[in-house]
């Protein structure tokens, strides 16, 4: 069967999508459970590869509570100190003592705010930011690693992609699953990602509504440490892989 121009465009898109999703880390959804084709609403995943990649196509979030020793806990556990994202494999710090009073002697205190600072020229995007007399993001990471929080010393600030994975836009104030991430302030949280166009700014997520944006590095924002990385890769669903094979064979 002769392949039309539209067919070639679809083929190129499929090849791109397959390569992207075969190599990239898995991406959790944000609470969206429907999408649109050109004409109408689609509930659930996109049935046509031409529309694959919409929010509803991503993996539902799944979390596991962890003890101070890093051991899995049941969802019913009344206390926990870390959370594992079962989709991305990332392990997140859980904040504590949200009482409106900052306590910088406790780096896990939910009320602490920090200026953005990274003294490493290889990772600061060309601008180190504001030292903040010890109340900066680098000081926070150093403190949590020095304390071997959860038994680990490889904590870091999340990238903007990693931080947005926590946003749950099906809720507000805060836009996050509070049954796993209690003591989350409905405000701005820093990522490690500097703005490419504005190196005096860095990206973050406002958890009032779950939107990402950038802010000046002298701004006092909240933080949440992360460690680890993706444990698996995401691939096109089986029916979409078959769609690709059938099309190439036509």
What is the predicted pLDDT for the residue at 234?
A: 39
- pLDDT tens column, 183-194: 999 999 999 999
Residues 240 and 214 in one domain: no
Residues 103 and 223 in one domain: yes
Domain extent for 149: 90-231
Is-contact 233 87, C-beta < 8 A? Answer: no
Total count of domains within the chain: 2
84 DSSP 8-state letter? E
**Domain assignment present for 84:** no
**Domain assignment present for 74:** no
Give φ, ψ of 41 to 5 degrees: -75, 140
What is the predicted pLDDT for the residue at 29?
A: 53
**Domain assignment present for 119:** yes
Q: Smallest Cα–Cα separation from 127: which of 52, 20, 202?
A: 202
Number of H helices, E strands in the chain: 4, 10
Residues 145 and 41 in one domain: no
State which residues of the chain have pLDDT below 50.
Answer: 2-3, 9-11, 13-25, 45-53, 230-241, 244
Residues 97 and 41 in one domain: no
What is the predicted pLDDT for the residue at 202?
A: 97
What is the predicted pLDDT for the residue at 5?
A: 53
Tell me the C-alpha distance between 245 and 250, whole Å.
9
Tell me the C-alpha distance between 161 and 176, whole Å.
15
Residues 51 and 107 in one domain: no
Tell me the C-alpha distance between 157 and 122, whole Å.
15
What is the predicted pLDDT for the residue at 60?
A: 78
């Amino acid at each position: 069967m002769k392949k039309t121009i539209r067919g070639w465009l679809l083929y190129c898109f499929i090849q791109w999508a397959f390569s992207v999703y075969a190599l990239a880390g898995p991406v959790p959804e944000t609470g969206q459970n429907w999408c649109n084709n050109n004409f109408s609403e689609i509930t659930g995943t996109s049935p046509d590869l031409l529309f694959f990649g919409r929010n509803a196509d991503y993996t539902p979030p799944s979390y596991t509570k962890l003890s101070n020793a890093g051991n899995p806990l049941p969802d019913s556990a009344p206390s926990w100190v870390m959370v594992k994202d079962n989709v991305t494999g990332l392990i997140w710090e859980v904040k504590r003592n949200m009482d409106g009073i900052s306590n910088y002697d406790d780096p896990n205190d939910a009320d602490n705010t920090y200026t953005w600072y990274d003294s490493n020229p290889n990772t600061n995007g060309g601008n180190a930011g504001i030292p903040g007399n010890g109340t900066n993001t680098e000081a926070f990471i150093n403190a949590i690693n020095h304390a071997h929080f959860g038994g680990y010393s490889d904590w870091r600030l999340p990238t903007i992609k990693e931080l947005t994975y926590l946003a749950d836009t099906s809720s507000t104030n805060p836009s996050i699953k509070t049954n796993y991430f209690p003591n989350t302030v409905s405000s701005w949280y820093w990522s490690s990602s500097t703005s490419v166009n504005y190196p005096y700014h860095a990206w973050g997520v406002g958890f009032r509504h779950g939107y990402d944006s950038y802010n000046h590095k002298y701004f006092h924002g909240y933080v949440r440490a992360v460690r680890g990385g993706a444990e698996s890769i995401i691939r096109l669903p089986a029916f979409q892989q078959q769609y690709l094979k059938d099309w190439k064979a036509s």
